[in-house]
Structure 1
Amino acid sequence: MSTNPLKTLGQLGQSVWYDNIHRDMLERGDLARLVSEDDLRGVTSNPTIFDKAISGGDTYDRAIADLLRDEPSLSSAELFNHLAIADIQAAADVLFPVYERTDGVDGMVSMEVSPELAHDTEGTVAEARRLWAWMDRPNVMVKVPATAAGVPAIETLIAEGVNVNVTLLFSLDRYREVVDAYLAGLQQRARRGEAVAGVRSVASFFVSRVDSAVDPLLDDSHAELRGAAAIANARCAYAHFQDVFDGSRFDDLRALGAREQRLLWASTGTKNPDYSDVLYVEALIGDRTVNTLPPATYDAYKDHGDPRARIQDGMDQAAAVLERIERAGIDLAEITATLERDGVQAFLDSYTNLLRSLDEKAKALAA
């Protein structure tokens, strides 16, 4: 095994992706260095990440000025798409050798549809098609939120051969719906005689936010359950992944060359300072999974991670842990529904702030 804990994760079957993108890291060669040194295999982005990147300094000002000189009528939303897609394409080009080396499993870069469309199925499909064509790279994914409106959009996009990163997954019930949508989309392609082997998807299952919501509701008589909900929830999702993709239900599609929709652990930065800063990485190391790490967690794991395949540890007890939490008077369905709504709103707030900042920058540069 490698002495670099991040590299060892890859040897254990878990792909490390980076939950961050910024033009500086592309232009300075930082992304290429992470690929070379740490076996980094992908990049994810979201409206909050782009808000911090574009609004937080003057790195993008020259590109903004150039775009507006050529197309002065660009809206703030279109201006954002031009900037973001240039970054996505550049990152995808850096990661293309990873895509080739892993036969298309990794080397992916993800960009999200506008959070304004989170509850609009047709709007999400139209926007995803547009972004997919505009990015024009085989190793990109369009991120679609796992809302009630997002699930049918996922099926449609998979059926059309669009790579999809399903995001904002919190509940096991919604995860089951997402897996069903993925399979249904592939089955549509198969019935039409279209290839299923090249379609890629991940299901981004959010972790630490579940503990942040559950822990404060557990009284001292249930103190031993604090810090347990998120990992148990994720392990139950992984059990469903294994049931479906290692079972007979996937046999026909597997025979046609279809790949599993891997689980991607998102929100793996530790928010409770009483917990290990690598808690949600260590506990969920498992074969055919992805962990997308924010920069602080990435650096912490490289420094003192102890990689070992642990996802099966306590797998038999995971459902029982969730049942005990329910018996303690905590409605997990209500909590995960709230987390989904809050997640959509947080991305929408970031997106709104980003557009406002771009509008201000455009006016200042014009002046």
Structure 2
Amino acid sequence: MQSTGILETAKATNPVKDLQKFGQSVWLDYIRRNLITSGELQRLIDEDGLRGITSNPAIFEKAISGSNDYADLLKSLQSRTDLDAKARYEILAIRDIQDAADLLRPVYQETKRRDGYVSLEVSPYLAHDTEGSIQEARRLWKAVARENVMIKIPGTPEGLPAIQQLISEGININITLLFSQKVYVQVTEAYLAGLEKLAASGGDVSKMASVASFFISRIDSLVDSEIENRLKHAKDAREQAQLKSLLGKVAIANGKLTYQLYQSIFSTTRWKKLASLGAKTQRVLWASTSTKNPAYRDVLYVEELIGPDTVNTIPPATLHAFRDHGHARLSLTEDVDAAKETMETLAKVGISIDQVTSKLTEDGVRLFEEAFDKLLQAVEKSTKSQTSPKINRQSYRLPETLTASVKHHIDDWRAGGKVRRLWQRDASLWTGTDEANWLGWLNVTEEELGQEQKLRSVAEEIKKEGFRDVLVLGMGGSSLCPEVLALTFGPISGYPKSYVLDSTDPAQVKAFEQKVDVAKTLFVVSSKSGSTLEPNIFKQYFFERVKQTVGADKAGSHFIAITDPGSKLQQVAEADHFRHIFHGVPSIGGRYSALSNFGLVPASLMGVDPVNFLDRTEEMVEACASCVPVEENPGVVLGIILGTAA
């Protein structure tokens, strides 16, 4: 959901634009007011060949809470006592949707209605209300009054008849929250039946458009978690090999087989009859394509799902990453037999894809409802008590000479487009060498929000098992954030007390050992490289102490490792049967790792809710976005002041 500078400097080729060569359209999974008014959206259309936009309540909530984009309209709505929070939100959202649709209108015309759409979602509260969804979709369609808009309806059992009815009325529909191949078939049936009804009533099916939004990364997140749990208890080498072979593979396999269904359904005699009337296929749209697991390539779910007549709606950070180092190829029809084998293996190891997708749908509805709750709360607060977002406006007072120098640098950043270039990871802002490889912290909150349930689950697990203390064993960047959090929040009722050991001084080690009950302590060994001397020494010492106290067979259950994928520490943790292994992000340096697992795992264990923590952080991300004027960008201004005064 975060905004980034998502345009790049001139390159010989643009991998994002290259996707069109393989028949795939790129839409942006993001919207906010300044994206439209700053000219950034138009540049994306011109330079990246952007062909559409999707929005959702979570995106709007972050934009409203973390920016001043909506201050003018929010202020004008304060006197509208006749409007509730939902009506006020719709006024904000519809203005953005209309303006974005107008910018995309040329794309809509050039592609003969195939692309150029902006999606607006019905209330998530209506996910299980057929008639309510129909009525709201009709109302929003009429209110936006743009041909190149799609109304988003979830693919729930109650949503399916609403989809069919709305299609039959000539309303463009984006079917969201799809995970299951079985449900996908039902969605295509609703589309076909709706078109047939529209044609029978004399409607023009050639003007209709629809996409089936199939969610990707969430499948791997849930399946991988189940596999990791099973690996802890798998004794047979063959079973372990089968389980490991599935890690990071199921979501893509599921997507490829869904595309096979698409090709089959839209080549039938039934479809050809509709096509003869000018109807267009209901394309598969890949959603949730940002990588949540730092062990996987950050553009994995873009590179492996490229094929004709598809759409990929990509969040800003992933869009930039693909532009920077992605490779476009016709991948969607590759290794289909291997995809079938993956799904067969999943069933053989006892993991039901039907249960997985059913849970993901339920969770998706709940998460959208929670996001909508937060959105309405943000609107209510902004229109009743204040016109500014929750982020405080920045002010500073400096000596006159320093003020002049700061203003000079602010002007320089504005003239040079440096905020946008920073979000683009433009290495020329530094030495022009490898700096772009170390800016993973720019989009880390977006990635970490994808694993919030795992963080919560582990925290509850440790709490329930009676651990009284958590001792983080680290050095430098891996220990700074946990120490700050422990000092800031202090002990949180019901959760273990957190300590940080970052010195090999024998007296300090002994002091910490005396503070905790080894038998009731969880040790978090934290090292990015996995080869830092101090954490390794700590691990060896305390692992022996735990073995002496609880026994060699139980010692590993008292340890968690946080390290970059494939490190020496990961190998040690696996050999010693650590309770959990969390990965860092290789593109984030140690002292910038606070919002990665190096900070979030200790935070969660001590009782800090990761979702609330990251949500508040996302508000600041929005305040520091590339489309925010330099002088209003708190992160940039603070950085300029510190750099100038240094």
Partner of 1:157: 166
The alignment of Structure 1 onto Structure 2 pairs a total of residues equal to: 365
Name whichever of 309-318 and 118-127 sits farther off. Answer: 309-318
| Aligned-residue RMSD, C-alpha | 1.3
- Whether 2:138 is the aligned partner of 1:117: answer no
Partner of 2:320: 299
Is the partner of 1:17 in helix, strand or coil? strand
Partner of 1:84: 93
- Whether 2:42 is the aligned partner of 1:32: answer yes
Partner of 1:253: 274
* Aligned residue identity for 1:190: A
* Aligned residue identity for 2:384: K
Partner of 1:200: 209
2: distance between equivalents of 1:282 and 1:259? 25
How do 1:132-281 residues align onto structure 2 when only pairs under 5 Å count?
A: 132-218=141-227, 219=231, 220-221=240-241, 222-281=243-302
- Residue 246 of structure 1 deviates from its aligned partner by 2.3
2: distance between equivalents of 1:191 and 1:98? 30
Partner of 1:356: 377
Runs of 4+ in structure 1 over 3 Å off: none
Is the partner of 1:357 in helix, strand or coil? helix
Partner of 2:16: 6
2: distance between equivalents of 1:3 and 1:100? 25
1: distance between equivalents of 2:63 and 2:21? 32
- Residue 315 of structure 1 deviates from its aligned partner by 1.4
1: distance between equivalents of 2:270 and 2:331? 26
* Aligned residue identity for 1:137: R
Which runs of 5 or more residues in structure 2 are unaligned? 1-11, 232-239, 389-646
Is the partner of 1:126 in helix, strand or coil? helix
2: distance between equivalents of 1:359 and 1:190? 43
* Aligned residue identity for 1:74: L
1:238-276 deviations in Å (ceiling 9; x for gaps)? 001000112323111011000000000000000000000
Partner of 2:61: 51
- Residue 366 of structure 1 deviates from its aligned partner by 8.2
Match of 1:19 among 29, 37, 42: 29
Larger Rg: 2
2: distance between equivalents of 1:6 and 1:52? 26
1: distance between equivalents of 2:387 and 2:226? 51
* Aligned residue identity for 1:99: Y
Q: CA contact under 8 A between 2:71 and 2:387: conserved in structure 1?
A: no
- Whether 2:333 is the aligned partner of 1:312: answer yes
Name whichever of 354-363 and 88-97 sits farther off. Answer: 354-363
How do 1:304-343 residues align onto structure 2 when only pairs under 5 Å count?
A: 304-343=325-364
Which runs of 5 or more residues in structure 1 are unaligned? none
Give aligned-pair identity as a percent: 49
2: distance between equivalents of 1:267 and 1:366? 32
* Aligned residue identity for 2:128: H
Q: CA contact under 8 A between 1:68 and 1:74: conserved in structure 2?
A: no
Is the partner of 2:174 in helix, strand or coil? strand
1: distance between equivalents of 2:387 and 2:19? 48
1:120-154 deviations in Å (ceiling 9; x for gaps)? 00000000000000010010000000011101100
2: distance between equivalents of 1:117 and 1:68? 27
Q: CA contact under 8 A between 2:32 and 2:69: conserved in structure 1?
A: no
2: distance between equivalents of 1:351 and 1:217? 29
* Aligned residue identity for 2:304: A
Q: CA contact under 8 A between 2:106 and 2:116: conserved in structure 1?
A: yes
Match of 2:72 among 39, 47, 62: 62
- Residue 62 of structure 1 deviates from its aligned partner by 1.5
2: distance between equivalents of 1:38 and 1:216? 35
**1:366–1:280 Cα change, 3 Å:** closer
1:288-312 deviations in Å (ceiling 9; x for gaps)? 0000000110000010111011111
2: distance between equivalents of 1:263 and 1:252? 21
